[in-house]
Structure formats: structure tokens, C-alpha cells
Structure 1
Amino acid sequence: MSKPFSRRDFIRMSAMGAGAAVLSIGLMGCNDSSSGPANKKGATTNEPLIGVGFQHGIASGDPLSDRVIIWTKVTPKTTVDKLTVSWEVAEDEGFTKLVTNGETETTADRDFTVKVDAGGLSANATYYYRFHSNGVSSAIGRMRTLPEGSVAMVKLAAISCSNYPAGYFNVLAEIAKQDDLNAVLHLGDYIYEYADGGYASEEAKAMGRVVEPIHELLTLADYRMRYAQYRLDADMQLFHSRLPIIPVWDDHEIANDTWREGAENHQSEEGEFEQRKMAAIQAYFEWLPIRPLVEGNNETIYRSFKFGDLVDLHMLDTRLIGRDQQLDYANYLGADGSFNASAFMADVGDPNRTMMGAEQFEWLKGQLTTSVATWQVLGQQTLMGNMSLPASLITQQISLNDFSELAYIAQLAQQAQVDPSSLTAAQLLFLEANQQRLTADAMQLLQSPKIPYNLDAWDGYAYEREVLLATAKQNNANLVVLSGDTHNAWANDLRLRSGGHVGVEFAVASVSSPGMEVYLGVKPENEPGMVQLVDDLKYTNLTNRGYMMITFTPDTAVSEWLYCSTVKSKQYEMLTDRQHRLMVKVNTNTLISA
């Protein structure tokens, strides 16, 4: 294991530039992009370093109206202390119209990564960029700045949960084909921390996607190696070369179900959690094209992006900076299996429980209060909608398939009592053949109380969610929440407990991580039943991997869910029959068909 480092060491390293960006705002004089590497004593040699390359590709991110972060990693094949890397940004792909360029040094202390905050750019413009080192050039990347002033349309994509051993990144290859996106939001779980043979690895060997390192990620070297493996993926490289991303982390960039002081997937024998978290954060900032809210503080990633007068996007951290530990249903079960509902409701509604932390929450309230944009958009990790399901489903006393069938039989039975003539002949035959399944035990399962199915989501922090929604309501915000994490697609109306509509939520399926089709055995035909079970749920896809495209105009916000037929093969097609669109009109805060 690498030598542990303290929080103080981390802050000192952040201030010194670990994962920080070099500022570039204009053209410099001629520079020698083929200069040799530094030797072990720090002197520069004139001999070319054989094997220097940009094998991990390039990337851009955190676009503003006048600047974009550009990123690369240089790979030396011999031992050196530092490398000189230059960059160019131009208006054209042939680099005849240079806008900014420069050079810097990168070292092993930052994993030979390079981040440049390329400024001096024009708003709503497309640019091209590349890097050079030791006579070798990177691929050419394309990026786009944000618009200013009066804006007629903003188009974003959203993704989440890119799990390398679970399948190919076909979803990223599809997004790379889009030419009209302003940016792509990565809503967390860019990598997964598990060892070989861990979560969703059953077919990894057959697909040639066994993780590196093969053990669980604990140290800075471990996290760096896993990022490096992801960034060797051809579809990941193509995706990053074509579009700027706006990322936030979720839990798997550190460990499963991370909270402020620990994680479900961190045990005491694995060392200090704080050291592991800081190592993971450093690797994240080295490998992702992201700038912190405050330079030198890589723990604070909540930040805002303005798309002219149309959209204000607020990227949140609902995972690391402030989150209290998740509640656990096991703590409310008695020895006889009874559930202490009153204790649970008191804890889930505790006003002191937080996902965001007080400082971030005050920042967000300030953003919502002062914004004058038409749409207020939250990019964040976990589901915000109220996703309460019958307790019998959550405790797995009954499968969703069986529950849906029993509920249908019960519905027919009730309808037969009220108005038998309303049933078709086929329905009457079905009821006659199945009515005996409505036993007392079955009815008890159907009538079990509804409770939140995921306490790692906003349902486990209900009081803070209510305050957030009330703040949006008070400021007459047209609120759109974009969420990831669950591996399935959802669309929710967001309402206060008093019943007033506040906004809508569009939640994206995963890039490759399996969803309910694997761990609950659900099928597409179960999806309408799920929508009926959850009060404010308007749409779900429980079986497919894909992404969202969200288009904002002054009148509407439209989400379109798109899905790949498989992630287990490089041969796939887009599932046009599973594509779905919903929208919200300005000043309505309710979902309707698009």
C-alpha cells in the first residue's frame, strides 16, 4: 500500500496544484513542443523519449462562456521526473486560427496528467484542441463554450453509472454522434471501486473487461490505475474527444454508499476512511476535466453554470461534503419481525438530517433566490422523487411480477362486484381461473403500507428535501432535477407534502450497470404496474441501458430517453420502440407527454 497521507497533506497538495488546472488566456510566443524530458535530477535532455504517448486520450469539461478545461495524460515509458507538454486551441480543426496556446510541466506527483483552463474564448462557439510532448501529438478534440444573453435553446445529455466490467460503453459511443449538444452531464459513478469478481463482473472475463487492479480500490495508486483502465476504452475516448462534460461524483468514485465519514463498502481493517476518501478525490481531480468551486479545495465541487438567460444549472454534491449516514430498515425491525414505523418516520423526518450540509444548502438557496433564468436545473446524484412502494415488495416478501398479477386480479374482482358487465369475456375467464390466488395472506401483502424503497436517496432525508422544494416554490422557480444512481430511468412530479407541485425530475438509466431487471427480475411489462404503484411517478424503464437528452426552450423542457439493445456485445442497435419523451411547460411544474 502507498504511504497514507493526512487531510492536511491533501489540502497542501491541492493548493500546490494536485489536479489543478493551468490558466491559458492567450497566444504565447513560439514554443518547442518537441523538447525532451527531464532526467532524474531534473535537468532537460535533448534525446527523444521513445514511447511518450497520449494513449489515454483527451477530454474537455466545465465549459463557461469564455473558457473550457482541457485535459490529457502523457505516458512515459522510461523513468522521468517531469515532462513538458504544450497545447493549442483553435477555431478550426486544421489549427490555422489559433486562439490560445502554451506549455507546462507535468510530473508523477499528478500522474502525468495535464489540465488547462483555456480562456479567452467566445461564447457559444466550437473550438478544437490538442496537446504535444516530445515530438508526439495527441488526438484532436472538439469542445463548445456556453451561450450568453438571450438564448433560444439549450440541449444537454445526461449519463450515470459507467461500470467497466458490467459491459461495453455503447451508450457513450452513441452520445459521441451528437453534434448539437451544449454539454454532457455525468451524474456520478464514473468508475466503480470493486475488485475482480465483485459487483456486475459475471461476464467480465468473456468480454475482456476484467478490472485493474484486480483488488478493491484503497490507495491513490489503485484509483489512478482504475481511471487509466477506463480511459483506455475506445468508446470512452471518442466520447470525451467530441463533447465537454460537466461531472459530479457519486459514491463509487470512493466506495459504495459513501457518506461524510464512511461507506458501506469500507471496513475498519481497510484503514482510515478519510485517507481513502482523500486518495479517491485526488485521483478524480487528476483524471476529470473539472474545476473546483474554490481553487485549492478539491472537496467542494458544487458549482453553477449559466446558459444565458434560459438555464441556470446547479451541480450538487449529495454524497461527500455533508451527507449524514443512511438509515437502515434493519434497525427498526423487532425480534418478532414487527416494524417500528413511528421511530422510522421520526428519524426519516428529522430536521437535523442532511444530504447536502448546511454550507452547500445555503449556497443553493442563494442561487435559487437570485437567479433570473427561465429554468432552474439541479444536476445531482440520487433520486429526489418520493419513491414509496408497498413494504411487502421492499422486504422481498413478494416479487414485483407476482405483486402486479395479484393487484390486477384484485382489481378485476372488485370491478366484477361493482359492475360485472364492464369486464370482457377474456377478463371474466381470467378472473375465474385466478381468483383463488386472492388468499388472506395475498391480500395482506397487497395492502402493506408504502415505505421508501431507497434510503440512500432523498427519501431518506425527507425534511431537507421538503425545505429545498419549498425554497424553489417560494422563488417561483421552474425546477427541473436531473438524477442518476439507480441504473433505471424515471420521471417524477415533485410535490410538497401539502400537495403543491414544485417541479419535475428526469432520472437517467445507467451506461452499463445492471438495473432492476437483474436484481429484482422485472420485465418491461412490469413497468406500467410500477407507475401505478408510485403516486408521483409518470414513467420508468426498468430494463435497458441508455442516456437522456434534455432540451430547454423558453416554453418547455423536454426529456428524451434513448436506449441501446445491449451492453454485452459491441454489436448493438438503438431501441426505437423503447424511446420515450416527456415534457414540462414553463410555469406548470407537471409532466405531460411530449
Structure 2
Amino acid sequence: MDRKRRRLVAALGAGTALSVTGCGGSGGSSAGPVNTPTPNQPGPVTPPPEEAPRVRFEHGVASGDPLADRVILWTRVTPQGEDSDIAVTVTVASDPALNSVVARYDVRASAAHDFCVKVDATGLQADRWYYYRFAVGDQLSPIGRTRTFPAAGDFIDRARFAVVSCANYPYGFFSVYRAVANHSDLDFVLHLGDYVYEYGPGEYGDFPERDPNPPYEMISLADYRARHAQYKTDEDLQAVHLQFPMIAVWDDHESADNSWRDGAANHDPLTEGDWRTRKQASEQAYFEWMPIRPRQSGDTSTIYRRFQFGDLMDLIMLDTRLEGRDEQLDLPLDPARNSEDRHLISATQMDFLLDHLSQSSSQWRFIGQQVMFAQLNIAELPSLDERSAQLRGNLSAINMDQWDGYAADRLTILNHLDDNRIDNVVILTGDIHTSWASEIYRNPSSLLGDLFEKPLAAEFVTPAVTSPGFPEGAAEVAGALIPVVNPHIRYVEAKTRGFILVDLTRERAQGEFYYAQSIESYDLRGQIDSSKTKVVTVNSGSSRIIEDRPVSRPRTLRTALLHPRINDEVVS
């Protein structure tokens, strides 16, 4: 168990203040498309050489960052010989058999980008499913399925997507990913970070035959590339990428535990070199190996961005980890955490967030980000003035890595929501390996707070794919004790791996917490423990959390029947 959760468990037993967080422990191709065809007129394809180099597609295919007219397509070509550039053809079609071709692209895989291939497939129609495949001569990748988003402003009555985070390879099978892939009717998957972990063997998990590669902590560019490569050989993760586009952000372990702008808790400059060099290496590998679109060519450091799903949802993705974060404080009672000079995100990113919240005309506004936004207290302390009361949830906070350690930035966002009467805001969070559903207030104190007022937002925190939560016994104590001191926290499940399925309509945002039966049994991969399923709902115009409504019905016409499941068997 990592040191931050260990301190929380100790505090819950002793009733003392402490520090806790989760997820801790001790680019694309070298060229863009040669042609830019329209959806109805495929462009010319350069014939492959008579003897194409021998390759393998060991890491599957993936897609991501869907917009109304384009989506990123990704694969990695593994050379079986010399490491010269490799010509790759990408085919996009509207049918699983790839008979109705809408676009073809010629690209090159090169050692400069670790033979990863990324294509921004443009000129597509909005709100459509597409299928794609990569080829080197007669050597073919699996066929992937992806989709474009509805055009901004188009009337949309429903969206369904999964929220995941914290997948540590050495802790067990990626059963949760398989469970997500089994929901064939999702529009996309949202990954909130800790897609890979940096540790060496035995440092954070020791599940048999799942030792990390390389067999030491990753520090260099080659290390980060090798670790991403290992993760993408996992069949359950490949199943998710094969079936859905993914929108992803990094958290700390894609670089190092408890990282911030200028360092990390798990980085020692004396033995591990310059932090900036290490951070840049981790960012480069992330952009090479993930289906993410850079803000501009060559930018591998900026991941905050926005997506629009018709007129139903705006999704604003933040980087609360590397872009603007000041170093975490050590002591929970340090008053510096209320300082206006401490920031979790930069002024530029804050303006980006507030501007898009104000400009949004969608029915719902979602914020996808890494660390817990709601106040998490271990005790209740009195407030002396109004501003102290607004920040008061932070006076007795227990986790300096999350927004509690940067209370002024959180207050800026909450004041903006209140002052501008911005409604229907749902924050989606990862990082902490446990499940939470909270109402968001300025001051959620049970004694002096504003719990009788309308909440300013709601937050759903997704459990981990494999990384550990609280141990048996402590998890039950946490689930019972935390809501008593924190009445705005309406649901806590502190030990079981799983994911959130968000089912969104114009009337309500529903978070359905699904939990895996096992991450240790290969035969139980993808199986859900239905006895633990939890449903929390926020009605439009309210932000209050309603518990235990029925689970939503899956789609049966638009997606599941017209676009059959392909995660278990490649359509040919």
C-alpha cells in the first residue's frame, strides 16, 4: 500500500490529521497523410514495394480525441529486421468489412517516434461510426472501431461513456478494461490518468508473470517507451482501444509519483538526473503511444482541451499534474494551502477553464481531471471570518496532493460558477483508487456550512482498474466515518476495483459504479459483481445527488445492432 493511503488508514484509526492521496507507491508518425481525401472520394494510395518489410502489429490499434469531423487513429508497427522507415497505409471505412472506404492515408513509421503511427483522419461525417485498419504490404493490423462526435449545437438526447483510471500492470489482470469493452454501446472511454506506472519489479505490485518492463523504474525515454509498449500488449486493454475512441489525460505515474511542475516525490536528482529531462521524456512517450491530438505540431506538453458532444455535453479536460502545479505541501495544517499564490493549474489554464464554462451553451458541462475536487476532512475546525469559512474545508484537510492543498484555485472556480449562475456541472476524477460521489459547496461543513443551499456542482470519482484501495476492515471504517465528518460526500467505496458508466440524458446525469469480481482470476476477467453496483444521479438544475435509482438500459438499436461487438473477434 502506498505511503499516502497508509497515512489515511492510520489517521482513521487514531483520529488524527494526516495526508492521503491515491495512485502512489514508495507523437505520432513522422509524416502526416500524403493525401487528404474527402469522405466520399478516397485518395490515391501509393503501391507498397514488391517486398514490404516484415512487421508485426503487436500492440493493437487505438483511436482517440474524437471531434465532429475527425478522429486520431493509432498503431505501433514492430519491425522484424532493420529499423529503417516503414510505409504504412491506413484505410477508413463505414462498414466493419472495410468495403465502403471513405479515406486512405499513406504514412511512415520511423524509429524517431518509436515506430508509432498516428493519423488525424479528417473530413469525416459527424455522429458516425467508422472502422479502420493499418497495413504494411499484405500484413494487416486488427480492424478497429471508432466514432465521431455529434456536431456542436446539434440536438442530442443521450450519451454513454465509461470513466477509468489507475491501471497498474503488476497488480493483476485488467479485468475492468474487459468489463468496459463488454459494454459495446458506449460512445467513448474517458481515461483520467495513471495509464502506466513507473515502478520497478516488486515496488508496487507483484502479481505472477506481470513484472514491469523494463525491470527497473522508468526514467529515460527508452524506459517510458518500453513500459507503454508492455501495457499495450495486454489483451483486455487492447479490447477497449479496438472498440471505442479514448479521451485521455495523464496523472502522476506516467512520469513519477506525486509529480508537479518542477519535480516529483519519486524523483531524486542526485541519482535519477534532471527532472525536466525526465518529464519531457515521459511526455514524448505519452504522445507517441497514446491516441491524443497535440494542440499544435510538436507540442507534447499541453493536454488541457475541450470536446463538444452536440448540444448535450461540453467536456473540458484539465492537466492538474504537470502544467502549472506548485509543489505539494507536507503538513495538512499548513495555512499556506489557502494562499492565493499557490496554484494547481496555471493562470492560462484557469482562464481556459473559466472561459469555456461561461461560453458553454450545452445542457451539461463536464470537467475531466485527475485529483479529488471535493473537500476531504478528518476533523471540523471553526472559522473566524467569511473567507476562512469559504476555505474552511481545507483547514482540517488530509490530502495535500488534491484540490484541498490548493484551496484558493478551487474557490476561484466555485465563485465563477456561482457568480455566473453556471449550472449542470459534473466533475469526473481519478487518482485515489476508490469510489466517491460528492456534492460540491464552498463550505460543506456540517455545523457552519451551506449544505442547505443548492450545490454548485457534483463530483464522481472512479475506482481503480487494478491499483489498491484500502485494506479489508479499513475500507469499511472509511466508508462509515468519512461521510459523518464530510456530509457533502454521499457515497464512498474504498477497496474494490471497477469503473463508472456515465449515462447522460437531458434530464439527468447518472453515474453507475460497476465493480469487477476479480482481478486475480483469468477466467473471471470482465465479470461484474452485480451485488456491489451503485447508482448515483444528478437531476438537471439541481446538482444534488440522488442514490439508488435503477441502472440505465443499454442501447439496442443505434450501436449494438448496427455496429456489433468486435472486441472478442476481429471482423474480417
On whether the aligned pair clears a TM of 0.5, the verdict is: yes
Identify if the C-alpha distance between structure 1 residues 238 and 389 changes in structure 2 by more than 3 Å, giving closer, same or farther.
same
1:252 counterpart residue number:
253
Name the SS of the counterpart of 2:349 in structure 1. Answer: helix
Which residue among 145, 148, 171 is the counterpart of 2:148? Answer: 145
Deviates more, 1:216-225 or 1:565-574: 565-574
Deviation, structure 1 residue 273: 0.3
Map residues 138-537 of structure 1 onto 2, 5 A cutoff.
138-148=141-151, 149-199=154-204, 201-202=205-206, 204=207, 206=208, 208-269=209-270, 270-329=272-331, 341=333, 344-345=334-335, 347-390=336-379, 451-475=396-420, 476-497=422-443, 499=450, 500=453, 501-517=455-471, 521-524=473-476, 527-537=479-489
SS in 2 for 1:517: coil
Query: Is the 1:294–1:300 Cα contact (8 Å) retained in structure 2?
Result: no
C-alpha contact 2:76 2:116 (8 A) present in aligned 1: yes
Specify the structure having the higher radius of gyration (Cα).
1
Aligned partners of 1:21 and 1:291 also within 8 Å: no
Counterpart position of 2:554: none
TM-score (norm 1): 0.80
Which of 497-506 and 560-569 deviates more? 497-506
- Provide, for residues 545-579 of structure 1, a one-character-per-residue CA deviation record: whole Å limited to 9, x for no partner: 00001111111111000000211221323111110
Indicate how the Cα distance of structure 1 residues 29 and 376 shifts in structure 2: closer, same or farther if over 3 A, else same: closer
Shift of 1:592: 1.1
* Runs of at least 5 residues in structure 2 that lack an aligned partner in the other structure: 1-26, 381-393, 444-448, 550-572
Task: Tell whether 2:562 aligns with 1:561.
Answer: no
1:583 is aligned to: 537
TM-score (norm 2): 0.83
The one-letter amino acid paired with 2:102 is V
Is 2:119 the partner of 1:116? yes
Question: 1:88-108 deviations in whole A, cap 9, x for unaligned?
Answer: 110001111111111111210
What is the distance in 1 between the residues matched to 2:215 and 2:118?
28
The answer for the alignment partner of 1:433 in structure 2 is none
- Which range moves more in the overlay, 368-377 or 527-536? 527-536
CA distance in 2, matches of 1:511, 1:473: 34
Residue 538 of structure 1, CA deviation: 0.2
Aligned partners of 1:47 and 1:314: how far apart in 2? 46
- Tell me the distance in 1 between the aligned counterparts of 2:522 and 2:345: 39
Q: Hey, what does 1:59 align to over in structure 2? A: 62
Aligned AA (1:133): V
| Identical-residue share of aligned pairs (%) | 39
SS in 2 for 1:213: coil
Which SS does the other structure have where 1:321 is aligned? Answer: coil
1:292, distance to aligned residue in structure 2 (A) = 2.1
Q: 1:21–1:192: structure 2 CA closer, same or farther, 3 Å change rule?
A: farther
Partner SS state of residue 103, structure 2: strand
The question of 1:98 aligning with 2:43 is answered no
**Cα 1:30/1:576, change in 2 over 3 Å:** same
Name the structure 1 match of 2:496: 544
* TM-fit CA distance, 1:359: 0.5
1:47 aligned residue (48, 51, 67) = 51
Amino acid at match of 1:90: A
Question: 1:517 offset after TM fit, Å?
Answer: 2.2
Q: How far apart in 1 are the matches of 2:442 and 2:297?
A: 37
Deviation track 1:43-98 (CA, whole Å, cap 9, x = no partner) reads: xxx43433x11111100000011111010010101123200000011000111111
Q: Return the offset for 1:197.
A: 1.4
Q: Is the 8 A contact 2:428 2:459 kept in 1?
A: yes
Would you say the 8 A contact 1:488–1:509 is kept in 2? yes
Mapped partners of 2:228, 2:354: distance in 1: 34
CA shift, 1:25, in A, is 4.5
Greater RCO structure (CA 8 Å; 6+ sep): 2
Q: Does the 8 Å contact 1:258/1:320 carry over to 2?
A: yes
Partner amino acid for 2:261? Answer: R
Residues 19, 537 of structure 1: alpha-carbon distance in 2 compared, 3 angstrom cutoff: farther
Cα pair distance change 1:474/1:292, threshold 3 Å: farther
**Partner SS, residue 530 of structure 2:** coil
Change (3 A) 1:386 1:592: same
Q: 1:24·1:116 contact (CA, 8 Å) conserved in 2?
A: no
Q: Secondary structure at the match of 1:516?
A: coil
User: 1:375 touches 1:478 (CA, 8 Å); kept in 2?
Assistant: yes
Deviations 1:26-49 (A, max 9, x none): 3544425643xxxxxxxxxx4343
- Select the structure that is richer in helix: 1
Amino acid at match of 1:213: P
CA contact (8 A) 1:21 1:114 kept: no
The unaligned stretches of length 5 or more in structure 1 are 1-13, 36-45, 333-340, 392-448
Cα deviation, residue 198, structure 1: 0.8
Cα distance in 1 for residues equivalent to 2:30 and 2:466: 27
Computed over aligned residues only, the root mean square deviation of the Cα atoms, in angstroms, reads 2.0
Mapped to 1, the partners of 2:87 and 2:441 lie a distance apart of 54
Give the counterpart letter for 1:466 in structure 2.
Answer: L
The CA distance in 1 between the partners of 2:133 and 2:375, in whole Å, is 45
